[in-house]
């Protein structure tokens, strides 16, 4: 039997956008659960009298883990990808960004290699993390929770061979009110959107088959938005950016642009050998992505 090789798979969004993935680890987990009981007070291994003492009845074992149940199912994980540009747009990026901001449901598919596909249903984004560093490309990591997953191993998966350019640091525009990013050039910028996800399990009496062990709803908690700007030199213009006043930054690249309303924490200046790189953390407030 020939061994099938994998390749950098791709993510297909509800809108049909295709994202080339660098790493994909979204899957269903389920573990059996065991319960202690009166005769299960002794491990069967090891059975040496020196470690467990003598057995009460010859060499008979007191068996463990005889009362069990199937655990509930959870489908979650992360996937990472570099942002790409094709004909002036960033395929799939804005769609995923909007789902992370709204916390709403969506479905998607992932193709591993020719003939294998996994479909994920009723998904929500738990975390959307965007990282940009000088001299590098834009990297995104997304943590996704799904209500359930289905696998099909007999699919005619079309190879995605469209030529796309990686979006590099020099194509990114970041405007910070009151700051001269030429005087204190940015070394890196990151943005994190977190939506706590709470799976809701209900009585199996009104569910059928294996779906009874899947969550029937994914509840979204309070959203948190935060990030860090790292910059060279003193950054004296950043000193006054404290919690006394909110500011609206603007981030953009390709056809994507968003405001980020935030308050800033005090500057952190580490003492170290080498270039001076200070960090300025921020926290999103109100409706962070609206003017």
Comparing C-alpha atoms, which of 183, 254, 214 is closest to residue 74?
214
Assess whether pLDDT exceeds 80 at residue 196: yes
Do the domain assignments include residue 39?
Answer: no
**Domain encompassing residue 191:** 10-29+73-284
Residue 251, domain member (yes or no): yes
92-109 average pLDDT score? 94
Output the pTM of the full model: 0.85
Residue 289 falls inside a structural domain: no
Helix (H) / strand (E) containing 14: none
Structural domain includes residue 80: yes
Instruction: Flag whether pLDDT at 100 surpasses 50.
Output: yes
Q: What is the pLDDT of residues 105-144, one digit of tens each?
A: 999 999 876 668 899 999 999 999 999 999 999 999 999 9
Whether 118 is covered by a domain: the verdict is yes
Whole-angstrom CA distances from 165 to 16, 64, 81, 93, 104 are 19, 57, 13, 14, 29
Tens of pLDDT, residue by residue over 218-238, are 999 999 999 999 988 766 666
Q: How confident is the model at residue 89 (pLDDT cuts 50, 70, 90)?
A: confident
**84 close to 166: Cβ distance less than 8 angstroms:** yes
* Gap between the Cα atoms of 79 and 27, Å rounded: 11
* pLDDT score at 83: 94
3-class DSSP state for residue 95?
A: helix
The helices-and-strands tally (H runs, E runs) of the chain is: 2, 20
In a domain, 44, yes or no: no
Query: DSSP assignment, residue 5?
Result: P
Domain assignment of residue 60, yes or no: no
Report the DSSP beta bridge partners of residue 280: 229
Residue pair 146/157 in contact by the 8 Å Cβ criterion: no
pLDDT at 40 over 50: no
- What are the φ/ψ torsions at residue 243 (nearest 5 degrees)? -70, 0
Q: What is the pLDDT of residues 3-38, one digit of tens each?
A: 666 555 788 888 888 888 888 899 999 988 877 665
Considering its fold, how many domains does the chain have in total? 1
């Amino acid at each position: 039997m020939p061994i099938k090789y994998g390749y950098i798979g791709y993510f297909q969004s509800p809108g049909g956008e295709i994202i080339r993935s660098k790493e994909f680890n979204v899957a269903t987990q389920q573990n059996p659960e065991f319960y202690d009981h009166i005769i299960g007070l002794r491990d069967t291994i090891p059975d040496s009298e020196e470690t467990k003492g003598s057995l009460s009845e010859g060499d008979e074992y007191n068996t463990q883990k005889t009362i069990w149940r199937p655990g509930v199912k959870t489908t979650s994980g992360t996937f990472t990808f570099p942002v790409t540009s094709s004909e002036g747009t960033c395929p799939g990026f804005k769609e995923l960004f909007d789902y992370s901001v709204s916390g709403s449901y969506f479905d998607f598919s992932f193709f591993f290699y020719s003939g294998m596909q996994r479909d994920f249903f009723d998904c929500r984004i738990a975390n959307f993390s965007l990282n940009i560093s000088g001299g590098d490309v834009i990297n995104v990591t997304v943590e996704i929770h799904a209500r359930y997953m289905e696998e099909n191993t007999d699919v005619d998966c079309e190879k995605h061979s469209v030529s796309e350019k990686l979006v590099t640091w020099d194509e990114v525009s970041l405007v910070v009110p009151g700051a001269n990013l030429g005087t204190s050039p940015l070394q890196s910028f990151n943005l994190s959107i977190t939506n706590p996800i709470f799976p809701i399990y209900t009585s199996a009496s009104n569910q059928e088959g294996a779906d009874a062990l899947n969550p029937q709803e994914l509840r979204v908690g309070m959203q948190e938005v935060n990030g860090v700007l790292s910059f060279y030199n003193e950054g004296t213009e950043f000193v006054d950016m404290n919690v006394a006043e909110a500011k609206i930054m603007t981030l953009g690249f390709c056809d994507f642009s968003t405001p980020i309303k935030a308050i800033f924490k005090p500057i952190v200046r580490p003492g170290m050998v080498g270039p001076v790189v200070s960090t300025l953390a921020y926290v999103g407030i109100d409706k962070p992505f609206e003017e």
